[in-house]
Structures are given as structure tokens and as C-alpha cells.
Amino acid sequence: MKVRHTSPSRILKVPFPICSLSEQRRIVAKVDRLMKLIDDLETQLAASRVKAANLLSAVIAELTNRTESFGREWHFGPRNSHFGLKSARKRSSQESSSAEPLRKLPLS
């Protein structure tokens, strides 16, 4: 392919700046560090994807292997046990006489 009005001799006469050898070495060292960082990040990303897939598989297995539906004591025990509260059954029998009636809140 030819470029009009140009010849190899004219191109060779054009000054073409080149960095000093020390600057070229600095650039190469920087690129090498960045390439290593990219490789490390790609390895971490692949490991994270494997962990995410394993976690998803474990969650799905836990959910699909469960024989009962999402009941009151599904997987984590009674609803209120995590908050230090008595279960509704125990509370109703023990505190039925001391329980306050619910008050209606104004709608406005």
C-alpha cells in the first residue's frame, strides 16, 4: 500500500523521539508490576467465583433437602429464640393473667 506524496526516504528524515534507555527500563518495570497485579486479581476473581458457586450450591442443597415447609421452627429453631424471648406458647400460658390488652393507635 502506498501513501501519496510520501517515500521511504522522506519518512526516514522525520525525527522520531525515543525515550532514554533508563526511561524505557522504568516503563518496562512498571508494566511488569501491573501485569503481575492483573494476574493476581484474575486468580482472586476465579477463586471468588468458585467460592460463590460452592456457597450457592450449599444453599440450594440446604433448601431442597429440607422435608418440612417454612414453618415456625424451620432450620434456625423457634422464631423468638434468637432475641431472648419466650416462645408464644410458653408466654401465653405463663403470662396470660399479667398481659396488658393491646391499645388501638389513632389513624390520623
Residue 81's pLDDT is what?
53
| Residue 16: band (very low, low, confident or very high) from pLDDT cuts 50, 70, 90 | confident
Q: How many CB atoms lie within 10 A of CB 25?
A: 11
Q: Which of 55-59, 77-81, 98-102, 104-108 has the lowest mean pLDDT?
A: 77-81
DSSP-assigned letter for residue 15 = -
Q: What percentage of the chain reaches a pLDDT higher than 90? A: 36
Residue 51's pLDDT is what?
95
Q: For residue 80, what are the CA distances in angstroms to 74, 87, 90, 97?
A: 12, 6, 11, 21
Residue 72's pLDDT is what?
47
What pLDDT, in 10s, does the model give residues 28-67?
Answer: 999 999 999 999 999 999 999 999 999 999 998 888 876 4
Helix (H) or strand (E) holding 8: helix 8-13
Average per-residue pLDDT for the chain? 76
